[in-house]
Amino acid sequence: MEENKVEFGTGYKSLEQCDKRKGGFRASMFLFVLVALENMGFVANMASMVLYFLLVMHFDLAGSANTLTNLMGSIYLLSVFGGFISDTYLTRFNTCLIFGTIEVLALGMFTIQAHIHKLQPEACSNSPCVKGGKALMFYSSLCLLALGAGAMRGAIPALGGDQFDQKDEKGKKSLSSFFNWLLLSTTLGSTIGVTVIVWISMNKGWDLGFLIITLATFLGFVVLAIGKPFFHIETPGDSPIIRVIQVIVVAIRNRRLSLPDNHDELYDISEDATINDDKIQHTNQFRSLDKAAILRPDSSTGPWKVCTVTQVEEVKILTRMLPILASTIIVNTCLAQLQTFSVQQGNIMDLHLGSFKIPPASIPVIPLLFMAVLLPFYELIFVPLARKITNHASGITQLQRVGVGLFLAAVSMGIAGIIEVKRRHQAIKDPTKPISLFWLSFQYGIFGIADMFTLIGLLEFYYKEASSGMRSLATSFTYLSMSIGYFLSSIFVDLINSITKRTTKSKQGWLQGQDLNKSNLNLFYWFLAILSCLNLLNYLYWSSWYKYKTDTTDYELKEKAVNGSTPFLKVGGTQAAAVSKQNGVSPART
């Protein structure tokens, strides 16, 4: 079949790969500044908006929490849209700038509504109180913020990853370091946001807080635009969604055909040609999809008639990712509670540190401080030591890192329930002497460490495993699980309230009303802790089942060296690349 093998399909291709003056950490610095400034406002909003909805827009307790989680869910869901757009139609750089402009516009609308009292609703007995033109402006700004902040997030990780050449060990290590420093930049900006900006919003006025956020975000995108000459900017190619659909359609059409005994007989491009700068080797999982790579004797070649092995393997990789994505949803449901109910807890606790009164929305600074200290330690000390033991570019694998995060998230929720019991007991015993806000630091601190392991582990995992034409879409899977987690939080709140209203003697829902002292928030936290433990067991199964596209056994390497074939279950490391190079095959990029 060699005479029938032709090149077709275009992927995400670099325009400037030969220019060594571009890319690397020189370009990444502009991204670090952007994410620091943008997250300074974004995280400040996420920490304080639940109080803005409660105190200014006059939502009730559950309504304000659900409005925020729905906004966060929409932002992260639309990151998938941003990933798709940047892989297919716009460059990743332009995607950031265009949707960043929309985000700045939305923040400007929030500033105007917070400044002009006539645009704010009056308090009422039935939440929500915002109606008419005020509601139109309010919900329009929410929608624009979700679109701008979400789509921009879908492009940033892949844009940064594109600045590093992964064909050698140094590039792999630099890429791993990039994701760690990206999180540190986010953390430092967020720390300023939840302290300085939150204090300004709650003490000097919400309008001034929103104005500072708007200007900081605008400045961040200006810095990114200035840095354009330093970036490797790649042009988009075929739609990754269309490529996936093609494999499914052709596999269904060929479902009655028998697979060849030797996978080398499947349709593929020539050895010296690549698609998406990748030539992914065949794997034995999901063999039914291999039928898409069977070329019928009476059929001509074409994307809707036969697919290459590489294209089929792209779909297999995305399929293998789905259980990992599903296993990380619950941890984001837990995160939603720290941005909603835990902030509401802090609002009725002792907020004083000496003579200084701390805004309750600033309590998320605790996990941020943990992360700000631990990230440099992790990158500069732990990773180099772990590399010597494991010979892995990241020290430990991405999925191991995520597993640590999921375990700590379960611990955090268990502790959160204990702290809430203590807080409510003291509030009922003596309302004039509430416990200190800093009791919440236990749940926040542990979850901060969990987030450090989980978030960047997932971003690096999705980026490395995906082919170059699908990297924006794949990294947006991290935010997709966050989106589902936030939406699931809203569903849990409503569902648990509905069930417990019918089953409790008091006919009072666990999370009903505006008085936390009459609720059973601790039971809700423990429910999430148990769910997190069950989810961890589920994750351990799927993570052990997952086969990295860049791992292979020594036996398979020897087989390739002797026979010139590439049985591929796991490919990775410098040894695999060296053996592939000796046999004239382009190794899969990691």
What pLDDT is attached to residue 215? 94
Q: What are phi and psi of 430, to 5 degrees?
A: -150, 90
Q: Which of 285, 160, 161 is nearest to 589 (CA)?
A: 161
Q: How far apart are CA 360 and CA 364, in angstroms?
A: 9
**Three-state DSSP string of 85-127:** HHHHCCCHHHHHHHHHHHHHHHHHHHHHHHHCHHHCCCCCCCC
Q: Read off the pTM.
A: 0.75
Q: How does DSSP assign 499-522, residue by residue? A: HHHHHSTT---TT-SS-GGGS-HH
* C-alpha dist (Å) from residue 511 to 57, 272, 330: 20, 62, 19
What pLDDT is attached to residue 491? 86
What does the block give as tokens for 390? 């494991």
Residue 484 carries which side chain, given as an amino acid letter?
A: I
Reported confidence tier of residue 415, pLDDT bands at 50, 70, 90? very high
Reported confidence tier of residue 168, pLDDT bands at 50, 70, 90? low
As a whole number, mean pLDDT of residues 184-198 equals 89
3-18: per-residue pLDDT in tens? 444 444 444 444 444 4
510-557: per-residue pLDDT in tens? 776 667 777 788 888 899 999 999 999 999 999 888 887 754 333 343
Q: Is the distance from CB of 151 to CB of 81 less than 8 angstroms?
A: yes
Of the ranges 24-33, 204-213, 511-520, which one carries the lowest mean pLDDT score? 511-520
> Is a pLDDT exceeding 90 seen at residue 226?
yes
Q: How far apart are CA 485 and CA 455, in angstroms?
A: 13
Q: How does DSSP assign 10-38, residue by residue? A: ---EES-TT-TTSSHHHHHHHHHHHHHHH
What pLDDT is attached to residue 223? 94
Of the ranges 2-6, 58-62, 77-81, 175-179, which one carries the lowest mean pLDDT score? 2-6
Q: How does DSSP assign 289-307, residue by residue? A: GGGGG---TT----TTT--
Q: How far apart are CA 527 and CA 416, in angstroms?
A: 11
What pLDDT is attached to residue 278? 63
Q: Characterize the bridge pairing of strands 13-14 and 234-235.
A: antiparallel
Q: Is the distance from CB of 324 to CB of 480 less than 8 angstroms?
A: no
What does the block give as tokens for 42? 């974004």
Q: How far apart are CA 408 and CA 98, in angstroms?
A: 37
**221 versus 273: which is more confidently predicted?**
221
As a whole number, mean pLDDT of residues 223-230 equals 91
Q: Is the distance from CB of 306 to CB of 337 less than 8 angstroms?
A: no
305-360: per-residue pLDDT in tens? 888 888 888 888 888 889 998 999 999 888 887 777 777 777 788 888 777 777 77
What pLDDT is attached to residue 144? 94
Instruction: Let me know how long the chain is.
Output: 590
Q: How far apart are CA 296 and CA 526, in angstroms?
A: 57
**383 versus 538: which is more confidently predicted?**
538
Chain mean position to CA 417: 26
Q: How far apart are CA 357 and CA 349, in angstroms?
A: 11
Q: What are phi and psi of 235, to 5 degrees?
A: -90, 140
- Helices 132-161 and 471-503 cross at an angle (nearest 10°) of 140
Reported confidence tier of residue 30, pLDDT bands at 50, 70, 90? very high
Q: How far apart are CA 22 and CA 514, in angstroms?
A: 54
For 121, left (φ over 0), alpha (ψ -120 to 50), or beta?
beta
Exposure class string for 481-500: b at 16+ Cβ within 10 A, else e: bbbbbbbbbbebbeebbeeb
Q: How far apart are CA 129 and CA 134, in angstroms?
A: 10
Chain mean position to CA 428: 40
Chain mean position to CA 170: 25
Reported confidence tier of residue 427, pLDDT bands at 50, 70, 90? confident
Q: Which of 246, 229, 344 is nearest to 8 (CA)?
A: 246
The residues that bridge with 289 in the sheet, in sequence order, are none
Return contacts of 284-287, CB within 8 angstroms, 24+ apart.
Answer: 284/569, 285/316, 285/320, 285/547, 286/316, 286/319, 287/259
Q: Which fold has domain 24-236+316-545?
A: Growth Hormone; Chain: A; (1.20.1250)
Residue tagged 């406002």 (tokens): 41
544-587: per-residue pLDDT in tens? 888 877 543 333 434 444 444 333 233 333 333 333 333 333 33
Rounded percentage of the chain residues whose pLDDT exceeds 70: 84
Q: How far apart are CA 157 and CA 24, in angstroms?
A: 14
Mean pLDDT of the chain: 79
Q: How far apart are CA 37 and CA 375, in angstroms?
A: 19
State the first-to-last Cα distance of the chain, in angstroms, to the nearest integer. 29
Q: How does DSSP assign 278-346, residue by residue? A: B-PPP-SSSGGGGGGG---TT----TTT---HHHHHHHHHHHHHHHHHHHTHHHHHHHHHHTTHHHHHH
Of the ranges 43-47, 186-190, 253-257, 404-408, which one carries the lowest mean pLDDT score? 43-47
Q: How far apart are CA 588 and CA 38, in angstroms?
A: 34
What does the block give as tokens for 236? 């988009």
What pLDDT is attached to residue 571? 34
Write down the domain spans for the chain. Answer: 24-236+316-545, 550-590
What does the block give as tokens for 15? 């325009």
Q: How far apart are CA 222 and CA 404, in angstroms?
A: 37
What pLDDT is attached to residue 506? 66
**456 versus 360: which is more confidently predicted?**
456
Q: Which of 337, 298, 51 is nearest to 194 (CA)?
A: 51
